[in-house]
């Protein structure tokens, strides 16, 4: 890339989007068009110090696209309604499905690459496993409207004959790290564990209500946000440098490939602060027991085969970095 590319980043004021923008800035890239709902005051410190060409409100952005205001080289679509407790599907349909379709069609029309955030929520309870093959998408059974909307977009994408030259949909697993403070109850378990320790000196974890799993040994694939943006950056440069072959286009899991327990997570959050773990177990609420996931783990073969070869941050290293450099000093990325 001889000249700086013009990059559209949606969800730029959110958790992953704002970390990605900072990551690009650190590489000297500032020809960025940031898209989000910038009226959310709690997200302000996620974006106001970043370097960019323009910020555009989410709702007016599509109109400006149609009017030909932008001349972008690539779209990185990270914006979404991510609240898994929002059960009005129409909300998710508007933002996660219809909005995404409009961006896809624009990228196809302009013949520019398109990277977007899918989700491991598409896998539901995991009864079909965690393989990122295109053949399994139609049979997945997400557990909430958020997961349904993400899977519906994946299905729609795979059915399209008009496509961007290069594209990738990334199924993020359990992401944690700086710039998620505004997410409230939707924040990572690490953030909640840290807050519990600060307030009470203890962490409460759910008891197991399934045979074969000890209390606190429910397993998730936790991935540090810095690894997420490293993968995004690698794909972006592969696509802009025309090193991304069209046969690589598709859906990709993005986790570490190694499930870890909530107990490990909680104990490491204590250890990162120089504290002895104090963990208690409480009953899981009745209303979520039937659909609670006891195990998620990304199969990462496909991304590795595509050429991504950097190691992923271990849970111990990631929690330590997050706690020591961001949570304790109350800093963003």
Here the tokens at position 101 are 């379709």
Q: Quick one: which H or E segment has residue 205? A: strand 203-206
Distances, alpha carbon 151 to alpha carbons 78, 86, 93, 126, 135, in Å: 15, 16, 11, 14, 13
Does 150 participate in catalysis according to the annotation?
no
Q: Residue 302 in 3-state DSSP?
A: helix
The catalytic position among 51, 155, 183, 202 is 183
Question: In terms of Cα–Cα distance, which of 305, 219, 228 is closest to 258?
Answer: 219
What residues contact 222, with CB distance under 8 A and at least 6 apart?
173, 174, 175, 176, 188, 189, 190, 255, 256, 260, 265, 315, 318
DSSP state for residue 255 in the 8-state scheme: S
- Strand bridging mode 219-220 / 260-261: antiparallel
Q: Would you tell me the crossing angle of helices 315-322 and 225-240 to the nearest 10 degrees?
A: 100
For the stretch 71-95, what's the b/e string if a residue is b when 16 or more beta carbons lie within 10 angstroms of its beta carbon? ebbbbbbbbbbbbbeeeebeebbeb
Question: In terms of Cα–Cα distance, which of 6, 101, 111, 92 is closest to 56?
Answer: 6
Does 101 participate in catalysis according to the annotation?
no
Q: Would you please indicate which residues are annotated as catalytic (active-site) residues?
A: 146, 183
């Amino acid at each position: 890339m001889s000249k700086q590319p013009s990059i559209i980043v949606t969800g730029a004021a959110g958790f992953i989007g704002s970390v990605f923008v900072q990551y690009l800035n650190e590489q000297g890239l500032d020809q960025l068009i940031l898209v989000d709902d910038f009226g959310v005051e709690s997200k302000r410190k996620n974006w106001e110090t970043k370097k960019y060409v323009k910020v555009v409100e989410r709702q007016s952005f599509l109109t400006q696209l149609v009017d030909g205001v932008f001349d972008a080289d690539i779209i990185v679509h990270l914006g979404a309604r991510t609240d898994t407790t929002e059960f009005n599907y129409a909300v998710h349909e508007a933002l996660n499905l219809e909005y995404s379709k409009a961006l896809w069609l624009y990228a196809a029309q302009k013949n520019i690459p398109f990277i977007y955030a899918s989700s491991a929520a598409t896998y539901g309870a995991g009864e079909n496993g965690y393989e990122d093959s295109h053949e399994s998408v139609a049979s997945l059974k997400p557990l909430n409207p958020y997961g349904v909307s993400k899977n519906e977009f994946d299905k729609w994408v795979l059915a399209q004959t008009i496509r961007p030259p290069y594209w990738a949909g990334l199924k993020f697993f359990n992401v944690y790290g700086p710039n998620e403070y505004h997410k409230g109850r939707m924040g990572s378990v690490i953030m909640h564990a840290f807050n519990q320790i600060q307030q009470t000196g203890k962490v409460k974890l759910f008891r197991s209500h399934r045979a074969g799993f000890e209390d606190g040994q429910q397993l998730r694939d936790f991935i540090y946000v810095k690894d997420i943006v490293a993968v995004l950056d690698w794909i972006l440069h592969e696509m802009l440098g025309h090193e991304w072959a069209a046969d690589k286009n598709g859906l990709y899991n993005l986790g570490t490939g190694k499930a870890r327990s909530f107990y490990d997570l909680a104990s490491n959050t204590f250890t990162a602060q120089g504290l002895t773990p104090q963990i208690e177990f409480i009953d899981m609420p009745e209303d979520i027991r039937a659909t609670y996931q006891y195990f998620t783990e990304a199969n990462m073969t496909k991304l590795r085969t595509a050429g991504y070869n950097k190691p992923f941050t271990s849970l111990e290293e990631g929690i330590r970095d997050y706690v020591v450099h961001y949570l304790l000093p109350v800093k963003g990325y």
